[in-house]
Structure 1
Amino acid sequence: MRAIPIAFIVLITAVFPQATWAYFDQLDGLLATHVETKTVDGIRYNGVNYGAWGKDPRHTLVRDDILTTNPATLLSKEEKLAFWINAYNVLTIDLIIREKEPESIKNLGGLFSSPWSKHTWEIAGQSYTLDNIEHDIIRPLGEARIHFAINCAAKSCPDLRVEAYRPEKLNTQLADQVTLTFSNGTKGFRKSPAQNIIHVTKVMDWFGEDFDDRNLHSWLMPYFPSLINDQTEIKFFSYDWSLNKS
């Protein structure tokens, strides 16, 4: 078997950079510095100080590290999920900052396109929209809990986590995101005190096929074994698309 020249290996590594995860600590710092819990119009959420985030030099470092990572180097499911969840959240923030949008991400759509399909970024030379990342990459990996982790910059969205997602502890982080969402009675989970009715986040309606193929009772029962039965009526919180600003 012919040996591969060292120079060729170096060239391939330079052209197709490995996933270094160098941005983890920087992203942790951004989230810790510029995200705080707010309650506005009766909704409790993790608010982002977009103005300060945009001026923080760590944002450019994190964004550029993501954009220069070659997704082909992501080998495990955990690596892929962690990378693409972080990418979705960071690029959503980047969009708000870049467009200087003060009220709602929905204002950034076009006449015939949503904000999630209109705007693009190049990751390792390939163009992606937020829709591409969510629907073509993340959801096909078959992990329903990602809907509690990706954040669409709206107050009613499951909250932005105040740390980067990391492959080695991703399962724990996703489990915690579900718990945090369901512990938020303003937008995540609420049981009617007088009737066998619950309200859950609207994302479980929009993406119901990802939750046991729309068998929401089955998916929810392990989390609320004493509160939910087959006769429980499941309703959904109304969705406030106002920007999750602090």
Structure 2
Amino acid sequence: MKLISSAKLLTGILLIAVCICEEYASGLTNETFFDHSLFNRFLGRFVVAGRVNYAGAKIESSDLNTYLLKIASEPKSKVFSMKEPEQIAFYINAYNAITIKTILDHYPIHGSLLNFLYPQNSIRQIKNAWSEKHTVHGEPLSLDDIEHNILRKKYREPRIHLALVCAAMSCPPIRNEAYRGELLDKQLNDQATKFLNSPYGTRYDAASKTLYISSIFKWYGDDFVGAYKNSLDLKGYPPKETAVLNFIYRFLKEPIQKAIISSKVKVKYLKYDWTLNQIPLPAN
């Protein structure tokens, strides 16, 4: 029996090692990244100052449609193998993309006079907008499923409420870029800053010492309890309001910050405006 020379043996070992490393690196890249470039391009074209050009997007929605096909066909196991920020970005983008597609499928929206509680052009006029099933990583999921059964249940990241956009004026502004795992923390903080310093996020009445905040915090304020401790040492508030005030404080401008820490403010919630978050249409 011939013995393999040391040089040949070493060469063989090195080749095997190189192949293993290349395969591992390729697998790692696939596991930790989802390409959101199509949605990024779509948002860059049709979002201006937090509003959507639905009329323009209705005419040219190929990027959005192709992106939703990618979302639909991505294996669930691959999504769950991504790093957590990548997973959160995937679901936020899926939610926002599906919401826009829901609007486009019914645009222009002509509401029913029977549904007089909401504006005629509101997503609230679309039947089953939040319960209709869409394909996401190979399984049927509704907008409610994505928000409540995945994002809120699986991840302890209450800032998602500043990123999920339900196509209404009182929603946080939609970004003109897609969320990305490596930028997620920065993007969520930027969303909080923009939204909380807008008329839809907070409003302070100095005369009555009343802080009006978005109804989002009324509905989902409990998600912030535990995630944001009482570092301001606020007293006399229920746990939900204590957590919310500690969260929003870091993003607000100085006058409102001073009001929060200098005296007990009354907390009330802003009325939610369900008018469609579209770019204003030109007058006829």
Q: TM-score range by the shorter chain?
A: 0.7 to 0.9
- Percent identical among aligned pairs is 31
Residue 106 of structure 2: aligned partner: 99
Runs of 5+ consecutive residues of structure 2 not aligned to the other structure? 1-29, 110-120, 226-238, 280-284
Residue 235 of structure 1: aligned partner: 268
Deviation string, structure 1 residues 131-164 (Cα, Å, up to 9, x no partner): 0000000112111111010000011111111110
- Structure 2 distance, partners of 1:188, 1:97, is 26
- Structure 1 distance, partners of 2:68, 2:182, is 21
Correspondence for 1:54 among 48, 54, 58: 58
Runs of 5+ consecutive residues of structure 1 not aligned to the other structure? 1-16, 38-45
**Offset, 1:84:** 0.1
**Is the contact made by 2:34 and 2:86 (CA closer than 8 Å) also made in structure 1?**
no
Deviation string, structure 1 residues 39-91 (Cα, Å, up to 9, x no partner): xxxxxxx2211132133221112111111112321332201110000000000
Show the 5 A alignment for 1:1-246: 21-22=34-35, 24-37=36-49, 46-56=50-60, 57-74=62-79, 75-102=82-109, 103-109=121-127, 114-117=128-131, 119-140=132-153, 141-184=155-198, 186-212=199-225, 214=240, 215=242, 216-224=244-252, 225-229=257-261, 231-246=264-279
- Structure 1 distance, partners of 2:277, 2:251, is 27
- Structure 1 distance, partners of 2:40, 2:202, is 27
**Is the contact made by 2:102 and 2:129 (CA closer than 8 Å) also made in structure 1?**
no
- Structure 2 distance, partners of 1:132, 1:101, is 26
Q: Which has the larger radius of gyration?
A: 2
CA RMSD of aligned residues (A): 1.9
**Is the contact made by 1:81 and 1:138 (CA closer than 8 Å) also made in structure 2?**
yes
SS at match of 2:258: coil
* Larger strand fraction of residues: 1
